[in-house]
Amino acid sequence: MEMETEIRYLDDMRTVLYDKAWARTAPNLELYYMERGLEEKDGLRYDITTIPPKMLGQEFVKTKGHYHIGGYQELYIVLEGEGIFLMQKKGEGKIQDVCYVKATKGDCVLVPSFYGHVTINPAAEILKMGNWISKECKSDYASIEAKGGFSYYYTQAGWIKNKNYEEVPELRLEMPLESMPRNLDFLKVTKTK
């Protein structure tokens, strides 16, 4: 696999932002950078995502967010800065669970099977994170775009529920992993619901 760098622009994200009025008129800014395939090991791929600090109107800069097709998990490691990892599990036409993890340099965050995830940079410094994921894993962005983003937005006023979701559980805080797992083979396994 060859390393590939991708830039996520505002035009890629306008549909998933909280501040629609700002999004309609803002220039097509570069929001974050993804370096994919920096390393490969036993069917896994290592990527780095860099998110400079920025406000998207009233909302803190974030990744576009997606679900994994199949039951693949993903492991993140914060390399610089701090991030908020928002995760939600859908099922039977509604969100079953939604939680977030606050993570700083050295922390690891596991995205469980069947959870969509988005990463937010709430700080005034660059957020840089590495991730390990199966090379076979594909992403579903359409489900998130159809709802105008995730079930919650993180804004200057705090968490705001996305009104495009009929039922949303209360948001709960989870802790990052205490350490990096030694064996990452579990990331290669796809699960069924």
Identify whether 161 is part of a domain: yes
In a domain, 184, yes or no: no
Does some domain include residue 68?
yes
What is the pLDDT, as a whole number, of residue 4? 84
How confident is the prediction for the chain on average, in pLDDT? 95
User: Residue 157 sits in a domain of what CATH number?
Assistant: 2.60.120.10
CA distance 112 to 115: 6
Express each pLDDT in 36-75 by its tens digit.
Answer: 999 999 999 999 999 999 999 999 999 999 999 988 999 9
In a domain, 189, yes or no: no
Residue 32 has pLDDT above 70, yes or no: yes
pTM given for the model: 0.95
Q: Is residue 120 part of a domain?
A: yes
Taking 70 as the threshold, does the pLDDT of residue 1 lie above it?
A: no
Tokens of 22: 């700002």
Give pLDDT tens digits for 69-108.
988 999 999 999 999 999 999 987 799 999 999 999 999 9
Q: Which domain holds residue 83?
A: 4-177
Closest CA to 90 of 110, 66, 108: 66
Count of the separate structural domains present in the chain: 1
Tell me whether residue 76 is in a domain. Answer: yes
Q: What is the mean pLDDT of residues 104-127?
A: 98
One-character DSSP codes across 47-95: EEEEE---EETTEEPB---BEEESS--EEEEEEESEEEEEEEEEETTEE
